[in-house]
Structure 1
Amino acid sequence: MPESERGLQLAASRNAWESRKRKGRGGGQEYAITSLPLEAINAIKNRAAADAHISQLMDPKTAPAKANNSKVPSTQIGLLDAEARRESDQAVLLRLPHLTVKQVARFEARRAVVMAWYGFLKLRGMKPTNALYEGFVSHFNAGHLQANKVQYPELAPATAGVITSIALRTLQLWVSDYEKVGLAAFVDGNDGAHRKGKCTISVQKDLHDFTVAMVVANPHVKPVHPEDAAKARFDGHASIKVPSYHAFRRFLNEWKKQNAELFTAISNPDQWKNSFMVAQGSSSEDVLRLNQRWEFDSTPADLMLADGRHCLLGVIDVWGRNAKLLVAKSSRAVGVGALVRAALLDWGKCEEAKTDNGQEYVGVYVDDVFRALDIEQTKCPPFQPWHKPHIEHFFHTFSHDLLELLPGYIGHNVADRKAIEARKAFSERLFTKNEVVDVAMTAAELQAFCDDWLVRYHNRKHSALGMSPFEKAASWTGSVERIENPRLLDVLLAERIQRTVQKKGLKIDDARFIAPELAVNLVGRDVQVRLDPLDLGRVYVFHDGQFICVAECPERTGMNRREVAQKAKKMQAAEVGRQKRELKAMARKVNTDDVVQEILRHNAARAGTLVAMPKPTSPVNTAGTRAAAAATNAVDRGMHAQIPAAVQRHLGQSTPAPVISLPQSDETKFRQWLELDAMARSGQALPADKVKFYEGWQKTARFRYRCKSTCNVLPKISPSLAIINRREEQ
């Protein structure tokens, strides 16, 4: 109910509540209770019941009796005087109308348990002890006290469905609180209302909106993704606390539960249409034309005919109530295809086919047939046959009509079947799953009977139409889509198999069927193959409901295999080239999602702030390390022994920082030598610290190797370099 006066007025106007002017002073409007929402009516009834109970508790005539029954033993009184207790209890009773139904129920249950405890104590004439408390709890949890309606008349009605068992400490706390504050001890002040629907995510608006937005963008998002994204998005926000993974999981589950219709509309619009779209009117009022909707069904029971077990399939046009029946060998997809073929040829094409979730209606075969004819197939929810009421009612009419007059409709009893089971009504057995109904007819005879019965049905007045189905269909003046060539239906409804396209084509019954189109992005993929019943050399190939080609067997049709192979290679190369160009173009345009970038940046930032703590270490002490230590000590003692004492003292007083020289590469040394060689050939004096390097390095093997690899590219080399090269060549 709206909380403001204006909101109530708008709701009354919008929903056309029945009202009248209020009599007496003040004016205003009075609204009929029956016009209010159902939740408001229930709340008023519960509040009225609670008020009546409270009035009974406060009635002076019944108050003394209640006081006597609930009187605390004299040994327990002393914390509250009689007057203070009476005022406190009265204040609690005045609060009850403002509590919720659950709060009132818990108040009555707790009060009844404590009063039963005092009665239990009084019967034994003893002071309360732990043994008595334990005995009371044991009897209550076992249900003995609730069953004793003489000594504890209020216990069972008050605690039913509210308190099924209690703990010893709980009872002691209730008794102690009651002796301190009276009836106020039994009132649950919160009742969970202060936390209902609230959690760490919902109380933070920005975090709540961000999480819901991720669900809208990806309805099937896992809880770990909103958690990572929230940590990245709100990193550094002191006012927002990002909870754990389990909090996100609980929030998502609760949000989807509370917003089931909205979530379904986001994640699966078709399912929302089937599950939540309001349909308070007639189930056929939205059907406005012939062949707009057909309903299909089959009998749950099998018919045991003279020539074997069969089943009965049916279809009805909702607008005109035209119907067809087919006696099929079994309720398989092929039987449904035969029924669809007969209806298409007689009535034309329908717009929508409504079926249940039986195996004969949800397979690939039926799905391909409906998709090929551009017929929308609508499946009823599982175990809800009332979503296709017209075919259900049609079968009911058929089973209760002339069929019960057929000879042998109750069946021929077998040895282990009881006579009473055989006498069950035929209509009941026909709609019992896994039932077998015996009919003393062949399949052809039963089909002829069904056709004759349909003629009578179509020419009889229909109660919902006000005319016969034949007259209703004849009254349609609009156009009807018809299939002019029945050969098309032979292809669509032909027997189909699943095959994988191989490099050499399709292998069917030890024969190879080839076609150039099979090489275009189909090698290694599964396709649907429909066999031509009139030509063993050709098959029709479909993929994802789309016609691909007619494949032929060269041995049976005489086609040129070489020409087909050449054309197939060209088509395959062209298609692969086109797809590669598209992939390269797409790769240039791809951009990473913002949320993913935030997660990665956040993880990188976190990784930069992590420092590994030093681990406790211990020196390696082995025979090898001890021997090496002894050697190094000996070397150190020998080195210091060769240095004069004065120098050692000087070094001890001031030890300069060692200069670390990084080793030079051979390339660097070679280029440095070339520069020095150029200076020598030009007559310049070499630096004193470089003379030793210039004269010594050219004698090394590395220098000779570098000369070999470089002499071919240098325009000029020094005489010494040329001499070295000639020596190497010799």
Structure 2
Amino acid sequence: MKRWMTIAEIAEAKLPGLPASPRGVAKRAQAEGWAKRSTQARKRQGRGGGLEFSIELLPEDARTELIRREVDPGAPVNVITLREDDPLTGAERDRRDARLHVLAAFEEFRSANGLSVSDAAIMFPDAWRSELIEAPIDVRSQIPSVSTRTLYEWRTIRRRDGDDALGMDRRGRPAKLETAADGEVVNALLGAIAKQSFLSAQQLGDYLRDRFGEALPEITERTIQRTRARFEAEHRNALMAIRDPDRFRSTIEHSATNATFAAGLNDLWQFDASPADIMLAGKRRHSIYLAIDIWSRRVMVLVTQAPRAEAVAMLLRACILAWGVPRRVKTDNGSDFKARAICRLLAALDIEHELSAPYEPKSKGHVERAIGTFQRDLATCPGFIGHSVADRKVIENRKAFSKRLGMSDADLFDVQMDLPEFQKWCNDWAEKVYAHRPHSGLKGKMTPFMRAASWLGDIRRLAHPQALDILLAPIAGKDGVRRVVKQGIKIDGEYYQTSAAPVGQDVLVRMDPTDLGRAIVFSLDGETYLGDAICPHLAGADPVAVTMQVKAAQKALLKEETDKIRAEMRKIKPRDFSDALQRQGEKRGANLAFIERPAQPFTTPALEAAREAAEGAKAAPAAPYDPVVVQTQLAEVVRMPAPRRPIQQDKMQDQFRRAIDLEEAIAAGDPISEADAAWLKSYQQHPDYRGAKRIFEIHGRRMFG
């Protein structure tokens, strides 16, 4: 068999998939541009000229038939098994032996047909693929097909690196990235593609070369691409957990079925919010709040312009009035669900509030799934904008660019419904569509309506539904706590007069939604109604009349309280406190006794001297009567101090005269008592003394009598 054939020879062979006439083959060659392929067309040698074409240009069926007719497959090649004391793994040995078998079969094929290497490399792949060449099953399973380029590469690798190199990888090179830098290159590559998945092979190569330097062998971009593709497949789950945690949780992470338990109807409700995939009149995208009863799977939907605590309260009110009072409510950690007003409302209704773990939507999977079902059903509504940017682009592309150019969003998405219409659609969807749709999570695939109707237990209902509206009334300010002052309760710069609580007491205030001038006053815990507070000019009432009423009520309340106190005061006698003190002291000490401990003698030098003086005074005998001694004692004259003028403390002059007399006595050397000396020293520090002293120095004693 030969590789090159003319148009006539091809037509004469009558191959499948080709015309049977030279004219037809020529037209086919001209249409497919055979002559323009320089490596597969050449000038015919010999007489006549013209071109001849390589059989590569023929269709696959034609090549296979031509080879089947004219090719000698050669003698079967024996199974090749090399030594096992090599550095290869079992899989690499099988790959090496299979490739060596193919190369041996190639050489036998070339020799049997007398072909050059290049011609044999063109024909052998078709002969191998069509199984004209016999080969063991394990070899053919390893290599079901082979290309001309692969044959050249295997021959080169074997000649350059030896037989074992054929088992390393597809190109005969060892896995350079896996073994470089003790495996650190693999970790670095995984970290890089996890950090930035949009890096190209060239950028990854630059990063690895810059980081590892000479420790990184020479690698091509194609090697990086193949290694990256393999790592992406092998570490798919780990990379997804890092790159796209939400997708990982929804598609890979294990989730238990029916893990949320509800003991019965209204045992557990779940709430959540989401932007609605629909545009309403006014070019605004609204949000929806959805509540679901876990036991029955029935739902209720509320539409709001933006997520807020007031919407949560309104949805809770609608559910309570329609379904009853739940025992537990579970929400996420959004500010609208954790608002003080919501927490206070749930506490007032004795409803346990459970919060899901942050960033764990699966902990409230029932409401998440219900919202997903609701969003998918929105595709039937006018104004649907799609669930994602890609969906929105598809919807936009429904209209030609020339038509949608300059169109508003309302025209582009066929917006027709406003908020009240959409709310009615949501109510109908919950009551007529979802309520009667079989649910896979319910036994026997019951519908939520049937499940709720099957409940035979008790349902907690409000005895006074109108009281719920009072609890839902907006609070004053941020927390509703206000202090009663003399003028009343100050709210938004206005004073609301009240006698519901005494001045100085903190109260909880709710505003009457139907009357701007009325506030409702409760105790701080919200469990006791105290009364109303009225702002006269906002309520349209007479300020004087309101003030008089408040004063009268305050006076009556105060009189009642003071009368009780005064009655108790009259029961108390003057000596009751002191007698009670003594009686309680006697009672406390009645059962107690002091036990004297052994004494340790104690003395000091001073005590010893005093003891000796006391003993000496007792022991000294009385002196005998001696007239001479008595006469001598009588003769001694004791000079007594002159009598002083009686002290009059009523006037400043008297005090100053006393001070002058004492100073003169001291100057004359006369003795004065210690009391007079102490008084004089104190008085001399007084401003009265200093002022009188200056007058005395100028005018003398006559000014003081």
- Which TM-score applies when normalising by structure 2? 0.40
Return the structure number with greater relative CO, CA threshold 8 A, min gap 6.
1
The structure with more radius of gyration: 2
